[in-house]
């Protein structure tokens, strides 16, 4: 059942480039996003984790790779807040990262890339140039 759900979800959110001169990737429709969770969006060779933080009514995008062990896992991490800072915890190592800045909140020197996100006409777009 889980494999079928993942395949169906991937087909729903299979990304498309808006046009050749755009820096925005159409990732999914708002109604297809997972509430208070993340999904992985493939863009060429890159994997971007897209998070819909419904409790805050906010969207975030980061690299999907956890810098600790180089595993593509952040999209499966738990999201929450630490002193009003939105964060994601790697599901394997529990290291936490700011969804806003990419800073490691667990005290390590590593950080993750973050990407701009916008919603227009019911479609979620990810900026293909990292913010950090």
In the chain, the domains with their CATH numbers are 2-127 (2.102.10.10)
What residues does 132 pair with on adjacent strands?
none
Q: What is the residue whose two structure tokens read 């087909």?
A: 11
Tokens of 130: 């990292």
**Is 25 within 8 Å of 126 (Cβ atoms)?**
yes
**Is 110 within 8 Å of 89 (Cβ atoms)?**
no
pLDDT of residue 47: 96
Q: What is the pTM of this model?
A: 0.81
Tokens of 23: 């820096």
pLDDT digits (tens, 9 = 90+) for 77-107: 999 998 889 999 999 989 999 999 999 999 8
pLDDT digits (tens, 9 = 90+) for 20-71: 345 999 999 999 999 999 999 999 999 999 999 998 899 999 999 999 888 9
More confident call, 6 vs 89: 89
């Amino acid at each position: 059942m889980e494999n079928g759900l993942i395949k169906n979800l991937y087909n729903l959110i299979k990304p498309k480039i808006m046009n050749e001169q755009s820096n925005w990737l159409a990732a999914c429709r708002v109604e297809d996003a997972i509430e208070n969770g993340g999904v992985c969006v493939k863009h060429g060779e890159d994997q971007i984790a897209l998070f819909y933080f419904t409790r805050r009514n906010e969207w975030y995008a980061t690299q999907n790779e956890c810098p600790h062990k180089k595993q593509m896992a952040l999209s499966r991490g738990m999201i929450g807040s630490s002193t009003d800072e939105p964060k994601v915890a790697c599901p394997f190592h529990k290291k936490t990262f700011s969804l806003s800045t990419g800073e490691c909140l667990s005290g390590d020197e590593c950080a993750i890339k973050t990407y701009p996100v916008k919603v227009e006409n019911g479609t979620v777009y990810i900026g293909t140039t990292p913010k950090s």
